Amino acid sequence: MKPMVQTETIPPTITSPQTVSPESSSPKPVSPSRRKSRRRKANRRFGNYRGLTVELTAKLLINGLIATAAITASQQLIAYYQTQQSRLAELEQEVEKTQARVNRLNEEFARNFDPYQHDIWIKEKTNQIEPHQRRIVWLESDTDRQESP
């Protein structure tokens, strides 16, 4: 058997050189079919970017939504922070009042159980006096009674 040899046939390329005649310097009118083909070519060129345009628009919309959500969340956090700060200030005032009361009670406790001040404490609480002391009682005079309403 003979081996088959395939030969490729290359179609001849048709080249039509455009010659510009010096006589016709004005542009030639373009046929409607040529206009359509130019539009199709333009649509093909921009059609390649249509997918990118859709993608870019989607990204911008999503980023806008995320930015809006972030701004809203930060506003809520700022409001929450301010309320927490006001609560903290109130609690600090209460702690100061309570600390003052605790200090006063500690002093009173130490004084009540101090053996050297025990006598003074008894005198204050029971109105008792020592035997060598005299009680003084202030009386209002008649003139003071008449002046007071």
What's the average pLDDT block by block, 10 residues per block, for the chain (149 residues)?
57 53 56 65 68 94 98 97 97 97 92 79 77 82 65
Q: Which pLDDT belongs to residue 30?
A: 60
Residue 115 sits in which domain range? 40-128
Tokens of 106: 């500690």
Q: Which pLDDT belongs to residue 6?
A: 58
Q: Is residue 112 in some structural domain?
A: yes
Q: Which pLDDT belongs to residue 66?
A: 98
Q: Which pLDDT belongs to residue 142?
A: 73
Q: Which pLDDT belongs to residue 9?
A: 59
Q: Is residue 93 in some structural domain?
A: yes
* Cα-Cα end-to-end distance for the chain: 152
Fill in the amino acid letter for 117: Q
Q: Which pLDDT belongs to residue 123?
A: 78
* DSSP class per residue in 23-44: T--SPPPPPHHHHHHHHHHHHH
Q: How many domains does the chain have?
A: 1
Q: Which pLDDT belongs to residue 111?
A: 80
Q: Which pLDDT belongs to residue 23?
A: 53
